Amino acid sequence: TEGGDQSGEEPGRGESRAWRSGPFLRQEQSPVSQVEWPQEPRIMPGFPIRRVLVAGLLFSLLLGSSVLFVYIFRSCGPRPCRTQECWDLQAHYLASGNTSVAPCTDFFSFACGESKGTLSSFQALAEENKRRLQKILEEPGSRHLGSGEDKVFQFYSSCLDTDAIEAAGAAPLRQVIEALGGWRISGNWTSLDFNRTLSLLMSQYGYFPFFRAYLRPHPSLPHKPVIQIDQPEFDLPLKQEQEQKIYAQIVREYLAYLNRLGTLLGGDPAKVQELAFLSISMTSQLFQFLRPLEQRRAQGELFKLVTIDQLQEMAPAIDWLSCLQATFTPMSLSPSQHLVVHDLEYLKNMSQLVEEKLLKDRDFLQSHMILGLVGTLSPALDSKFQEARRLLIQKLRELTQRPPMPISPRWMKCVEETGAFFEPTLAGLFIHEAFSPETQRAAMELLTDIKDALITRLRSVPWMDEKTRKRAQDRVTQLQVKMGAPEWALKLSLDRQAYSDIQLGPSYLQSFLSCVRSLRARTVQSFLKSLPQHRWQVSTWGVNAYYSISDHVVVFPAGLLQPPFFHPGYPRAVNFGAAGSIMAHELLHIFYQLLLPGGCPACDTHVLQEALLCLRRHYESIPLPSGLSFNGSWTLLENAADIGGLAIALQAYNKRPLWNHGEAILPNLDLSPQQLFFRSYAQVMCRDPGTLEPQDPHSPPMLRVHGPFSNARDFARHFHCPRGALLNPSSRCRLW
């Protein structure tokens, strides 16, 4: 299934050689001229004319043959793509690559050498998609005045109106605090019932100080929607993940942040400091009750199904029925309503702590919850609050040795918030702008080729028994595919009643909170309707594809299928190397369970474990830049998907007519179609190695290139790598 090697030479050069090396006419005497004719007094004019005609005919045949040869060469060989999309892609590749590096020893630098210190390829694409949304939101011709869609543009404009936000200052937030009864750092405040305050925070402001509650499909079949109770999210990193000295510094930074928030709201400095200290102390106590996901999984306690009544008995400090009923209106809840609880032990301990605080200092709990709300709402306030938040995040990332967060421009923040609150409208507008029916058809054709290649490849997976192999092929055949956008986004509807519950103004914070309530109500309403086959977990303009185990569906959002990863007018090598490899990677997630210990009892476990061990050693043998490391066990499954994704995409690409008929290359890159395939794969992985997050299940970007390439014989063959070079090792692993 491998295609012939291509020199990468431009057709024009080959054409000139074809003319120079073509046969020439030999000037030999014809045998007819050697015959002695009788001497006649008359002239025979026909004879020389006949010779000229014969010679002319031969010349014409030779000329036609040469022209035909050149035509065939140019028609069947790769042609330079000279569309605007290809010129843009060529410029992108030239700007990011460093061709002075030998591709056989460091292809990551060859492809991404000039990308260091810049955004990753996925981040850059996500930013470009947001720029498209910005253009839509700021283009007057996009508006439909009088429709529900008009509120989308009004909200975005109010978010950009920083003059009005600065003029309002902290006043809108003070109004929120007063509506909640105030707090102890100010002179006037009213102590409210604990559960009443908690209910208001959850239902009116979307803030959950002690736990999270949300609607999701049930983890088990038949996946009906159910309220789920989970651990809370904290600004502070977990104590057990930090050294004692570092954690003390983290607490000091967070204490300074809370002090600054209280001071900005006009609080008495002494009272603010006392509240901030007590608040951090309580958060630290809650930390002690948290159990990591890995521990709960190992103990077989990922979730438990309990009724509201049962949860009330086990965690009595919270009025579960009233708080949940207020939050998930118009659902009708009863004490017998079932809930999915993800960490029951945490809820029991949290309830006991709250009861102790209610006995000793009831007023503190109200102030503690309001202080947390202030931190949550600070991004919707003026620049002083936003700067306090930014400084906290920057300090925490420095202390935890994570790269600094880039400062986003105001328009990008406004695009993100508008997209969160008005996703149905923005999804339709983005599809109309950036994902034409032609693009969707081309993407589906590419995925079909990838699926066919995977089904074929499964026939020769060495560790699968025949029954598992057949079941695996059936799983691929039965896979649901969601491409581009949810069905409702493909039918752009400008309903005049859309977002009728959103009240914009008079301040941006009030508009923001109205959108929070509207979004929650729409989410609940959508779950009360008949459950669709799959609820998308990413936005239409997002760049993350994923596979859902519970629904057996793979999702590729329109935001991912954009240049430089995909375009209908790109050379096939680019689309298969970039988007095709991503597709194959996601399809292999179907079989993750088989790779886990005990995941496939009928398989040849010895061969499988040998292949996985080989894979781990293979990655560990590849050198990394100084100071960069990775956990081979943590990244093993993603490494397996990277290696398999490249191999499957290459197999799908190689299934084509002889001589690369219809193939195209990028001009002035001096890369054959096969070389361009690998170059496009590597371009997807380009990112600054220093931006790798600690919990990222993927290997560092250099390994995501060198690992699969060094395991692919075709790479070494097409780049003419000498045996023993880094990317042409003496042995390779066979997993897929």
Q: Which residues are catalytic?
A: 586, 642
Cα separation, 699 vs 689, whole angstroms: 10
Q: Which residue has the tokens 């490849």?
A: 457
Q: Cα angle at 243 between 239 and 248, to 5 degrees?
A: 70
Which whole-number Å values give the CA distances from 247 to 67, 253, 279, in the listed order? 77, 10, 16
Q: Which residue has the tokens 């993603």?
A: 638
Cα separation, 129 vs 123, whole angstroms: 10
Q: Which residues pair with 665 in a beta bridge?
A: 80
Which of 264, 290, 498 shows the shortest CA–CA distance to 386? 264
Cα separation, 736 vs 727, whole angstroms: 19
The letter for the amino acid at 32 is V
The letter for the amino acid at 43 is I
564: preceding bond cis by omega (within 30 degrees): yes
At 483, which helix (H) or strand (E)? Answer: strand 480-484
- Environment class of 414 (CB within 10 Å of its CB; exposed 0-12, middle 13-18, buried 19+): buried
Q: Which residues contact 491 (CB under 8 A, 6 or more apart)?
A: 428
Which of 340, 343, 339, 338 shows the shortest CA–CA distance to 297? 343
Phi first, then psi, for residue 547 (nearest 5°) are -115, 130
Question: How many beta carbons lie within 10 A of that of residue 586, not counting itself?
Answer: 20
Q: Are 677 and 573 spatial neighbours (Cβ–Cβ below 8 Å)? A: yes
Helical residues (DSSP H) of 228-328, grouped into ranges = 244-264, 269-289, 293-298, 308-314, 320-327
* Cα dihedral sign, 108-114-119-125: negative
Cα separation, 148 vs 496, whole angstroms: 5
Q: Are 443 and 514 spatial neighbours (Cβ–Cβ below 8 Å)? A: no
